[in-house]
Amino acid sequence: MIEIVSPGPFATVQDLGRPGLAEIGVGESGAADRRSLRLANRLVGNQEGAAGVELTFGGLVARFRRATVIAFAGASCPVRVAGRAGGMFAPIHVRAGDEVRVGAPADGLRTYLAVRGGVDVPPVLGSRATDVLSGLGPPPLAPGRILPIGGPAEGRITVDLAPQPRRPEEPVLSVVPGPRDDWFAPEALTALCSALYEVSVDSNRVGIRLRGPVLRRRAVRELDPEAMVPGALQVPPAGQPVLFLADHPLTGGYPVIGVVAEADLHLAAQARPGGRIRFRLGRPG
């Protein structure tokens, strides 16, 4: 078992979510940066979809009640295990009674802790993920919470280090226009893709509120609620876009000027408040 001494600013249990349940009003949720969760799981010999812990701005302090193997991926943080230095993107052997401390990341936002065997909290609708918008899944972690570890992992630990490229300071996200780009003035897409947007502090797992050039609408009529997807750039009347992430609502009433490519969503998930991002036009598919 893992005892949470301190969860840091915000931490949740996440896996790859609940796909295929939108027709009954259940969003997919899951890790905001799926690429990093998958990597952390591979490093400890888990299936890629095993549940782990998603940390926001690091800060975790956890005590392990049995010997196991853990790994961290995502935003790079200083890690100490029983007072000794540990590393990112590598398996770390912990002993029974060891305390693991995670500092704040130098860049990026979300760090993923995988433990061999996975975090074995009870699944809800087939997933152990915490959905902060709907309230499904386990509550956000709090001091004193005990997380059970699953049974023996089937996979072997085959690497001792998985170096990762440096994260860009100003990531560029590919965006496909539509489905409602025709609701905007002709210059709106050009404005979106020619300037920097700043990540607001009013951002979370639901979406990233952006500050930058106003995206002026041509159509002023109301829009009937439409389905939303991760990566949708919804534009409220003020003209400042919101980029939807893992816990986005299933429907929305503001027009979507474009959708960020799925391959770039891990970059969006690591954009921290005060950071800046760019967009470029991409192609469907």
Burial string for 193-216 (b: 16+ CB within 10 Å, else e) reads beeebebeeebebbbbbbebbebe
Which segments of the chain have a pLDDT < 70?
A: 284-285
The pLDDT value recorded for residue 101 is 98
Give me the pLDDT at residue 175, please. Answer: 97
At residue 233, the pLDDT reads 98
Q: What is the pLDDT of residue 285?
A: 58
Matching residue, tokens 């259940």: 26
pLDDT reported for residue 152: 80
- Cα(19)–Cα(41) distance, integer angstroms: 19
Q: What is the pTM of this model?
A: 0.96
Residue ranges, CATH 2.60.120, the chain: 2-147
Q: Is domain 2-147 in CATH 2.60.120, yes or no?
A: yes
Assess if CATH 2.40.100.10 describes domain 172-281.
yes
- Range 50-68 burial, b when 16+ CB lie within 10 A, else e: bbbbbbbbbbbbbbbeeeb
Which pLDDT score, from 0 to 100, does residue 284 have? Answer: 66
